[in-house]
Amino acid sequence: MSVITSSYSEHNIRHLQNDDKGMTLLEVLGVLVVAAIVIGAVMGLMSDTLSSSDNQKELKNLQTIATKMKAQKFQGQYTGTDYVKILTESGGLPADMIAGGNKAKNAWGGAVTIKVSSDKYSYVIESSNVPKKNCIDLVTSLRSSSMFTKINGNVTNKVDPSTVCNADKTTIKLKPTVNHSSAPARALYLRSLYEQVIYPDSDFFTVMLTSFRTGIPTGQTI
């Protein structure tokens, strides 16, 4: 009788041990699944946080360039030939935009350039290779900034971020607000308009004299 009892007890012990091993394995698998879900959620949150951080940094850097460029005007015009180099050497370019060799980069490694218009009264900042997700958020912020008048050729309040950022990588082109309020700047600006738009083949001073005597010609606006 004791032999049978002993054999039965050993059988039960082995059975319980096997059950314990099975439960332990299921528990481990359960823990791993939960851990994977948590890690995925954390990584997603970190990715969104980093993306938002890059957007804020880029927005601030672009606004800094626009601010520093105001001091680069000479009699209302931008007469320099390489403003990335000028801003770098003068300490005006944000440190995290310096790419070496008088080049500038954005938060995603794309080139940033400053292109002066042919009349030298305005300029455009170009930021290339901006990822689509970041582009949409960045353009949404930029169109609310009073420091820029156009984004990719469109007036800021009419810009559709999804239209501008319709590719995996986008080049954002910004035209900053330029002030022509000073007297010398206004005079030069008016001269530019007359010479390039209204009377491209006429003598400026003759046109100005005529305008002051008779008013601006019908249909022409400044």
Question: Coil, strand or helix: which one is 25?
Answer: helix
Per DSSP, 195 falls in state I
Pairing of strands 103-105, 169-176: unpaired
Res 213 pLDDT > 80: no
Average pLDDT over residues 62-78: 94
Res 182 pLDDT > 60: no
How far lies 208's CA from each of 76, 183, 185, in Å? 19, 15, 16
Average pLDDT over residues 122-144: 95
17-21, 31-35, 106-110, 114-118, range with the lowest pLDDT: 17-21
Distance CA 59, CA 184 (A): 32
* Range(s) of the chain covered by CATH 3.30.1690.10: 49-176
Kindly report the CATH number that applies to the domain delimited by 49-176: 3.30.1690.10
What is the percentage of the chain residues whose pLDDT exceeds 70? 59
